[in-house]
Amino acid sequence: MNSILQHDLNDFENILEKAKQQGINFLNNLNNVPTSNKNTIDLVNNLNEFGLGSIEALKEFNERLAPLMVSSPGPRYLGFVTGGSTPASIVGDWLASVYDQNTQAVKAQGGVSALIEFETINLLLQLLELPDSFLGGFVTGATMSNFTSLGVARQWFGKQLGKDFAKNGISETINILTATPHSSSIKCLSMLGIGSQNYTTVKTIEGNREAIDLHDLEENIQKLSSKPFILISSAGTVNTADFDDFDAISKLRDKYNFWWHIDAAFGGFAAVSEKFKHLVEGWEGADSITIDCHKWLNVPYESAFYLIKKEHGNLQIETFQNSNAPYLGNPLENFNYLNVLPENSRRLRALPAWFALRAYGKEGFKDIVENSTSLALHFGNALIATESFELLAPIRLNNVCFTLKGSHNQEKVGEFLNIVNDKGKVFMTPTVYKGRKGIRASFVNWRTNEEDIKIIMEELKTSILDLEI
């Protein structure tokens, strides 16, 4: 063995102890870590001939890189839809690396990692009150979950026309209807060879809504004259957290032949609260659902899962099969993840979610969701109590979409947001909503509290003054 490796092997305990202590220091100090950082690094490193050893590499990391890390797992990072990481989820994440299992076959000799993944999916189905007619698996994010789901939808579409797209390539235009898709779904259409322009945009409901207009949907369906299609619907749009009407879409299934996909990356967690579960009523009728764990489940990146109806298992295998003769049958018998999703070798990606679910239970996640949503409302109220801001849309769940008051201020929105973000106390992202420039604040982090709202409002008020100078 290389002598540096040998040294590290002998020094394992000390090395991990230092990494642990560093993690504790960072997480305990999270409130003081800036939410943004303009400093950058010079890419000076040439590959060293001889190793530094873990301790020296850690020192270098601490000197050059660690000071530039931003508090994206912290309570005032409201950009995109960014969750944090709970203690239990960090344990799961660390241990997934320590145990370093390759999570593929259920019946692998001496491995239960795929079964742990099954168990985790099972716990998640219970958390979200979904039936066990879905088979699920973990992927890196909602983008890959959309990819997996729409990949199977693509195969389904071909089969409706007697074609096997997975084997022979796409030979027909695939009909896709959607109203307010997330950008990642459009990226998936490109990756899947369907074409990022090859979809029909259905109108949204009149007024301040992003949800699909069912009347226009039906008109568009009728234009297809009984041809099959794929519907990409939304459980939580990123600007205003709007939801399509899933009960109504379910009823359309009696009349029309379509694959129904729901992107519920964060909005799916509405299901854990009595107050919000009506938003996802009827979603169990979908063929496939996308859910992110690194958002509202507050586990570290990269964690998301797809749910695809078991009845489509063969289509899923046709799309992703790796070995010669995969057989679905009873999924607990001969199942291998490498035949049903994009990756072959996979880490024990379910473990952070498994730990989080066991550690905090249904009540824990209900509390996180209800805390986030009440803080979003509180923030919205604080915004409109000032003379400087207006909401661009009602607050339906956890996302606040707002802007500087008055259309004459539209050109200042970008500059204002830069001022706010540069100060490093809060981070939010820009958006355009119904033709108006705005700012999004998304509440999903388990640590955020009332005190943070006070700090954020202070930052916004002083930034308004800076803008006027």
Ligand X SMILES: *Cc1c(COP(=O)(O)O)cnc(C)c1O
Contacts to ligand X by CB under 6 A: 81, 141-143, 182, 184, 236, 238, 263, 265-266, 292, 304
In the complex, the smallest distance separating the C-beta of residue 290 from ligand X, rounded to whole angstroms, is 7
Q: Is the Cβ of residue 141 or residue 151 nearer to ligand X in the bound state? A: 141
Amino acid type, 456: I
Residue nearest to ligand X (CB): 141
Q: Is the Cβ of residue 155 or residue 178 nearer to ligand X in the bound state? A: 178
In the complex, the smallest distance separating the C-beta of residue 187 from ligand X, rounded to whole angstroms, is 9
Q: Is the Cβ of residue 104 or residue 184 nearer to ligand X in the bound state? A: 184
Q: Is the Cβ of residue 210 or residue 292 nearer to ligand X in the bound state? A: 292
In the complex, the smallest distance separating the C-beta of residue 300 from ligand X, rounded to whole angstroms, is 12
In the complex, the smallest distance separating the C-beta of residue 235 from ligand X, rounded to whole angstroms, is 8
In the complex, the smallest distance separating the C-beta of residue 460 from ligand X, rounded to whole angstroms, is 24
Q: Is the Cβ of residue 79 or residue 236 nearer to ligand X in the bound state? A: 236
Q: Is the Cβ of residue 292 or residue 343 nearer to ligand X in the bound state? A: 292
Q: Is the Cβ of residue 74 or residue 141 nearer to ligand X in the bound state? A: 141
In the complex, the smallest distance separating the C-beta of residue 440 from ligand X, rounded to whole angstroms, is 11
Cα 312 from Cα 210, distance rounded (Å): 30
In the complex, the smallest distance separating the C-beta of residue 457 from ligand X, rounded to whole angstroms, is 25
